[in-house]
Amino acid sequence: MAMSRVWSPRPVSLSIVEVLEKKGAITDIDLLKELKGNFGEVSFRELNTQLMRLEMAGVLRVSRLMKGKRQVELTGRPVID
């Protein structure tokens, strides 16, 4: 039986940090497109959950640009897990 979806060995949160390190500050919509390119199907709800966890840990900051659009950027602090 073939599996339609295969789990990635990398967590989504690590991929978010890698994209931000490579591209700098980015909108949440563009970040979602990048993640979909890496992982396949990633929901907006899943992205929001990961962004909230990373923001609470002090890894990144999410600020509102306009209605329905947010900017995501790294805080510059080291990641300690």
Confidence of residue 12 (pLDDT cuts 50, 70, 90): confident
In 3D space, the residue among 21, 55, 5, 68 whose CA is nearest the CA of residue 34 turns out to be: 21
Domains of the chain (ranges, CATH numbers): 12-74 (1.10.10.10)
Cα distances from 21 to residues 2, 9, 25, 41, in angstroms, run 35, 20, 9, 22
Q: What angle do CA 13, 18, 23 make, to 5 degrees?
A: 125
* pLDDT tens-digit map of 17-55: 999 999 999 999 999 999 998 888 889 999 999 999 999
